[in-house]
Amino acid sequence: MLFGTVHQMITIYSAKKIITMNPARPIASHVAVKDGMIVGAGSLSELEGFGEFRLDDRFACKVLMPGFVEGHSHAVEGKWWRYVYCGFFDRMDPHGKIWSGLQSIDAVVARLKEQDASLSDPDTPIAGWSVDPIYYPEKRITREDLDRVSKTRPIGIMHASGHIMNVNSRALELAGFLRAGIENGGLPLGDDGIPTGELRGPDVMMPVGQHAGFDSNMLDFDEPGLVDFGKLCIRTGVTTATDLAAKLDDDLVEIGLEVTSRSDFPIRLSAYRFHHGLTPKELLQHVTQLAEKSTDRFRLGRIKIVADGSIQGFTARINPPGYYNGAPNGLWYIAPEQMLEIYEGALKNSIQVHTHTNGDEATDLAIDMLDKALQKVPSKDHRFTIQHGQLINAAQFRRMATLGFCVNHFANHHFYWGDEHYQLTVGPERAERMNPCRTALDHNIPLAIHSDAPITPIDPLFTAWCAVNRLTGSGRVQGEYERITVDEALYAITLGAAYTLQLDHEIGSIEAGKCADFAVLDDDPIEADPAALKDIGIWGTVQDGRIFDASQL
């Protein structure tokens, strides 16, 4: 996989075009690199002034951009590809294979049956991922559907949102939940009074999921999975990615440190400690200890809070008038006093916090708590970031601007769930302003856009296409006013995302003194038809001066 190495001598790369994202010199023809750092970008004659160099023309027919920054992803995607893919849309795995999407519950059951037939041990669990019942409006998936695969081996499938899971009767039985009389908002009951097999939220997903083939820490990567996640990044031009909700226990940290230190590991991974499972005091103490272990390629010492669930799973907390179809309001994943304590402690200790909010009621909570925390612990440059923030309105943005919030919108959401939001979850008016990138920029909110991989595929050019075109899966424009320009979208997947990670001084643009991180493209995204932005080929990446050719994976 590793195609080249860093040289002590300066290497000057030529390219058809270099888009620097540096407004002082936006376009260049050559870039000089030494010891993994950019020496300068400009013309060959200008860069010759730095002294002895080696000219490398391998990118002479390519377009270079700053390495893409995926500001909201989960490295567990690499591991989940060892489970059974059950998504609605076609999707590429780390090895370049395209898996066909499944258009019905029967198709999901059929693929799981294929896996069942391949297993000799009748007790081996089957884990699947990326199913989404919202595409099957005729019924919710139940334990009886998965019992059609097997009644003897435990089976579980993670929803595409990551906030809900379905399991069969055997998995419920092993967890002690196949019985009547359970009163738990995360365990919907059937007409017989027994859980339907749908699990909502981590409190019930984790104890049941571990019987169905998922680790007790379902969002944690492992060694081969992290390697495969790196392959997905090469294929999509990503040189810095996030692992935005991991428990980061000692064993996981050791895996992360070892894998990222390898000479052929292709990305910088910024891992945020999930708030779940610790008191605020314990969380702050753990994150402080993690920061001491941070390295260049494995950044540690930051916090991720999850305030609510997902809109399409009806577990997000939304303000009146509530869900369009009359569904009850969603789930809180944290109490207000806990969020406030985390915010205050993080500000005191200069620890950055990213907060997941999908519903606007959850965003109100984050705004209110940061407002209170800043009154007690003022901070000029905390860069606390709302992740997703799909239903943020203009009034909320005005408050966020006064508090110094950034936002990272889930631009991919319109393609994957836009039609369903319009017709079912929040209705036409709110669906058209979801993930309001234009309004965020108009209110001077620092903006990034993301995939939330494995929720949707990691692919920043596709994410940029989504923000520029705002097309749903059916091809309908949803929220034309909230479209942003190609230039703004490219900024959001480079410097914009780097800013939200407090890394814009190191990455996000091609200019002297920054890391030699490049996405190597087949065509120019600025000159391309905006409708074709997602179709631009990616040759590979350069990360810290190390060259990775996707065709060699």
Calculate ∠ Cα 330-331-332, nearest 5°: 135
99, pLDDT greater than 60: yes
Q: Is the pLDDT confidence value at 331 over 60?
A: yes
Is the pTM higher than 0.85? yes
Integer Cα distance of 460 and 495 in angstroms: 13
91 - beta bridge partners?
A: 99
> What span, in angstroms and rounded, lies between the C-alpha atoms of 518 and 11?
14
What percent of the chain lies above the pLDDT cut of 90? 92
> Domains of the chain: which residue ranges?
1-66+509-553, 78-212, 223-507
Question: DSSP class of residue 409?
Answer: E
The confidence score (pLDDT) of residue 461 equals 98
Distance between CA 245 and CA 242 in Å, rounded?
9
Given a cut of 60, whether residue 383 has pLDDT beyond it is yes
**pLDDT-derived band at 140, boundaries 50, 70, 90:** confident
| Mean pLDDT confidence for 81-101 | 96
* pLDDT at position 258 over 60: yes
Predicted local confidence at residue 279, as pLDDT: 97
Architecture of the CATH domain 223-507: Alpha-Beta Barrel (3.20)
Can you tell me the distance from the alpha carbon of 341 to that of 274, in angstroms, rounded to the nearest whole number? 15
Contacts of 524 (CB under 8 A, 6+ apart): 16, 17, 19, 63
The amino acid present at 227, given as its one-letter code, is V
Model pLDDT for residues 469-523, shown as the tens digit of each residue: 999 999 999 999 999 999 999 999 999 999 999 999 999 999 999 999 999 999 9
Looking at residue 470, its pLDDT comes to 98
Q: What is the CATH number of domain 78-212?
A: 3.10.310.70
Q: What are residue 38's DSSP bridge partners?
A: 33
Q: Which of 342, 319, 306, 373 is nearest to 162 (CA)?
A: 306
Element holding 245 (H helix, E strand) = strand 238-246
Name the percent of the chain lying above pLDDT 70.
Answer: 99
Tokens of residue 292, six digits: 């001491």
Give me the mean pLDDT over the 296-319 stretch: 96
Q: How far apart are CA 87 and CA 103, in angstroms?
A: 8
Cα 396–chain centre separation? 23
| Listed range (3-17, 113-127, 314-328) with the worst mean pLDDT | 3-17
DSSP class of residue 550 equals: G
CA atoms within 13 A on the CB side of 241: 30
pLDDT attached to residue 364: 98
Cβ-contact 270, 302 below 8 angstroms: yes
Q: What pLDDT was estimated at residue 317?
A: 98
The CATH topology of domain 1-66+509-553 is Urease, subunit C; domain 1 (2.30.40)
The one-letter amino acid at 327: A
Cβ contact 124:115 at 8 Å = no
pLDDT of residue 285 exceeding 90: yes
pLDDT band at 20 (very low <50, low <70, confident <90, very high): very high
Check pLDDT > 80 for residue 267.
Answer: yes
Note the pLDDT of residue 525: 98
Residues in the chain: 553
**DSSP classification of residue 534:** G
**291, 298 Cβ separation under 8 angstroms:** no
How many Å apart are CA 368 and CA 477, to the nearest integer? 33
Indicate the burial class of 399 (C-beta count within 10 angstroms; 0-12, 13-18, 19 or more).
Answer: middle
CA distances to 116, 177, 214, 491 from 154, rounded to whole Å, are 11, 13, 11, 45
Q: What is the pLDDT of residue 1?
A: 47
Token pair, residue 355, equals 């907060």
Q: What mean pLDDT do residues 168-192 have?
A: 93
Task: Read off the pLDDT of each residue in 427-456 and give the average, rounded to a whole number.
Answer: 97
* DSSP secondary structure of 153-215: S-EEEEETTSSEEEE-HHHHHHTT-SSS----TTS-B-TTSSB-SEEESHHHHHHHHGGGT--
Q: State yes or no: cis peptide before 454, omega within 30 of 0.
A: yes
**Would the pLDDT of 322 be above 50?**
yes
Distance, CA of 380 to CA of 365 (rounded, Å):
21
